[in-house]
Amino acid sequence: MLPASLAGRVFEAKTGGTINFSPNATVALVHPNVYLFSASKGALPNLKQTMCSGATQSYDACVQILDFKHLAHRIFHRGVVDELGGARMSHLFRTFESAEVIYDALVRNRNSGRAPAASPFRKDIFFANQQEIRVVFSPFQPIPLPHFWFACPARTIFSKRFFAQRRTQ
């Protein structure tokens, strides 16, 4: 059985058929275009080490999100995108889903078994220290931006500030 992202697009597979790949073949599964909002969860000292001091692209601030699912709901229903003329997130996106990221070995060879299904909630085991939780927004139609900033009414019930460092140039 082919994953939905390959079915009818690249080749046809029927029950009892065989597809032979060369030993070094790579198959990339395409997932529909979605937009992600990510946060990390876990103990603050570990996250600071992973995301700030020990990272090649470090972060310089941290807030605690007290209710991530409530924040995801608020972003979807009240958020706006300035780069798109203040369009409401709920008018740009069909749905949103929030869940923790699952970390797994995504690259497989024929000896290590079947690769997991493509998912915006799955990342390679290499990134497991990030301990992400994500909101995935599925657009009604393609959006002409690879990324964007959104604005959402701020409420103190959603977060509290842990630290912010001044970046030196």
Q: Which domain holds residue 136?
A: 35-164
Q: How many other C-beta atoms can be found within 10 angstroms of the C-beta atom of residue 95?
A: 12
Is residue 27 in some structural domain? no
Q: What is the per-residue pLDDT for 13? A: 55
Query: What is the spatial distance between Cα 117 and Cα 12, in angstroms, rounded to a whole number?
Result: 18
Is residue 20 in some structural domain? no
Q: pLDDT tens-digit profile of 103-156?
A: 988 776 667 777 777 788 998 888 888 889 999 999 999 998 999 999 887 665
Is residue 26 in some structural domain? no
* Total number of domains in the chain: 1
Is residue 154 in some structural domain? yes
- As a whole number, the mean pLDDT across the chain is 78
Is residue 155 in some structural domain? yes
Q: Which residue has the higher pLDDT, 160 or 81?
A: 81
Q: Strand, coil or helix: what is 138?
A: strand
pTM of the model: 0.69
Nearest to 64 by CA among 92, 43, 79, 82: 43
Is residue 153 in some structural domain? yes
The two three-digit tokens of residue 99, written as one number: 């869940």
Is residue 18 in some structural domain? no
Is residue 97 in some structural domain? yes
DSSP character for 53? I
The rounded percent of the chain whose pLDDT value lies above 70 is 69
- Say which residues have a Cβ less than 8 Å from residue 57's Cβ, sequence separation at least 6: none
